[in-house]
Amino acid sequence: MIEGRKLRWFITGASSGFGLEIARAALARGDEVMATVRQAGQLAKLRDEGAHPCQLDVNDPAAVSDAVETAVSTMGGVDVLVNNAGFGMVGAIEALSMDDVRAVMETNFFGVLRVTQAFAPVLRDGKGTIVMISSVAGQVGFAGIGAYCGSKFALEGMADVLGGEMAPFGVDVMIVEPGAFRTDFSGRSIRAVDTSVDAYAGMQAGEAKSLVAQYHGHEPGDPVNAARIIVDVVKSGSPPRRLALGGDAVAGIEGRLATLKCEMGEWREASLATAFDS
């Protein structure tokens, strides 16, 4: 159990949303936080919150290496790494350019991998915790956000393996799967592809941009409550591999699991009829 112990957090993407609220929740519990943003103009805000501000683009290898050194020199180490930096993208898969897909994968997957690799030695030495902010879209595919779903499915696959590899060192890996929360994700943090395909007009795949815009500001999830729960679970000392947040996330993931179980049962005979005849 680590309840009551002062933890040292390193949080990416802390300008707003989950990143900022997790920083606030950890600070409220008496922990020490280094929080990162991409824009220098946002550093003062984090300093005012009581965090150690750090400018970081997770796609810049040199900046990531510098951030590790800064975190260790400033806080003496890191107990909890929160990979939160990322953005959403809407557009039917047929309408995506390769540049669109590469952009979202670069930040949501490769950026997370880059930061995780850089901090792994520090976390191994201290038996720390890695928190991956994924999404219900890392478990359930939604029409119109295929690139984003792809990035989160990839993140979860990597994080699952990482959890097994780090377990012998006493390092926990927790994948957080939020549903719809009232953050900037549906506003400033989401991008739309430049092209559209007429065939998808009137369908979710073709109307995802407007649907997301209409939903922005009306999401049921409270990011303050989510951040408090994340911090509490980390500080419990026994975080689960996956933590779904929000009734929509729970229902969506449970529905997918039920569908998978049903399909496996229906096609079980065919699935098992592949061995060489004995």
Nearest to 175 by CA among 234, 220, 126: 234
Residues 6+ apart with CB under 8 A from 53: 34, 35, 36, 37, 42, 43, 44, 45, 46, 47
Set 134, 135, 151, 186: catalytic member: 134
Which of helix, strand or coil describes residue 175? strand
> How large is the greatest C-alpha to C-alpha distance in the chain, in angstroms?
71
Catalytic residue flag (residue 215): no
**Token duo for residue 132:** 């991956």
Catalytic residue flag (residue 6): no
Give start and end residues of each alpha helix (H) in 167-222: 204-215
Catalytic residue flag (residue 134): yes
Please state, in angstroms and rounded to a whole number, the distance separating the CA atoms of residues 256 and 140: 7
Set 15, 16, 135, 148: catalytic member: 148
Give start and end residues of each alpha helix (H) in 94-145: 98-105, 112-126
Set 15, 152, 186, 235: catalytic member: 152
Q: Which residues are catalytic?
A: 134, 148, 152
